[in-house]
Amino acid sequence: MKSRSNASPESIIRNHRGRIFHFTFKGWPWGRLFLLLLIAGCQEAQPGDGPGHNLSRELDSLKPLLRSGDLVLRNGTDATSQATRRFNRKDTSFSHCGIIAVEEGRVWVYHAIGGSYNPSQQLKKELLDSFSDPADNDRIAVYRYPLSKEEQQRLINIVRQYYKNRLPFDLFFNFETDDRMYCSEFVFKSINKSMDGRLLPIAQQQPPVYISIDDLFLNPYATLIKKIEYPILASP
């Protein structure tokens, strides 16, 4: 009978406490196979695997299509976003919106948001990758208005001025005031101002007057650039 100390390398596994476990294999090939499977099971996932990488590639393919002044929408998966969608008039696909600005090769989103998402309650500037985080959202879309270069630059100047002035979020959703704004109000008033009021007809004039998120993309001026559905990306 062979002693335990003479066991082959493939039949001995040492754990982190120094104890030795012996496995009986009928021949070297099975021992080697076990070790290969054990090593393979302990390997970390390689970079580039999984739905997160797919989303990153989708966003990277979207970014070259974007222009400053584009409208970006997202749909949050939390209870607050679900409640917000109910204020849309027809299409409840999205719960939040912002305006894109391409600055020094990076894509930023200016958006009005409050609550626990933004403790400062001031107009927020956030990278598109963070704005569209799949941990909190299940889709995004980008629409474009027919802005001339002059109108496009005017829009970005307006947005940056609001940001510089630290525009507060309007918790009361009062469309009649301009000293604080909710998300779709900020987008509408910024674009409308850059277009010299041409966007005003899309606003419902009967009280209570408010701009819903779907008002911003269900109108003749808005053209879809791209929509990304996260559940599709999550599939193998």
CATH code for position 208: 3.90.1720.10
**Cα(157)–Cα(194) distance, integer angstroms:** 9
Side-chain half-sphere exposure of 50, counting CA atoms within 13 A: 6
Asked if 69 and 172 sit in the same domain, the reply is yes
Residue 159 lies in a domain: yes
Asked if 219 and 117 sit in the same domain, the reply is yes
Asked if 27 and 113 sit in the same domain, the reply is no
Residue 206 lies in a domain: yes
Please report the pLDDT score of residue 207 as a whole number: 76
Asked if 98 and 213 sit in the same domain, the reply is yes
Average pLDDT estimate for 66-78 = 96
Asked if 31 and 60 sit in the same domain, the reply is no
Residue 134 lies in a domain: yes
Q: Per the structure, how many domains does the chain have? A: 2
Asked if 106 and 24 sit in the same domain, the reply is no
User: What is the number of other CB atoms lying within 10 angstroms of the CB of residue 115?
Assistant: 10
Please report the pLDDT score of residue 56 as a whole number: 81
Asked if 132 and 34 sit in the same domain, the reply is no
Q: Are 209 and 203 a contacting pair, CB within 8 Å?
A: yes
Asked if 91 and 196 sit in the same domain, the reply is yes
Residue 133 lies in a domain: yes
Residue 131 lies in a domain: yes
Asked if 121 and 183 sit in the same domain, the reply is yes
Residue 46 lies in a domain: no
Average pLDDT estimate for 172-180 = 94
Residue 21 has pLDDT above 50, yes or no: no
Q: Are 179 and 168 a contacting pair, CB within 8 Å?
A: yes
Domain containing 194: what range?
Answer: 51-234
Average pLDDT estimate for 61-71 = 96
pLDDT in tens, 132-168: 999 999 999 999 999 999 999 999 999 999 999 999 9
Please report the pLDDT score of residue 53 as a whole number: 62
Residue 176 lies in a domain: yes
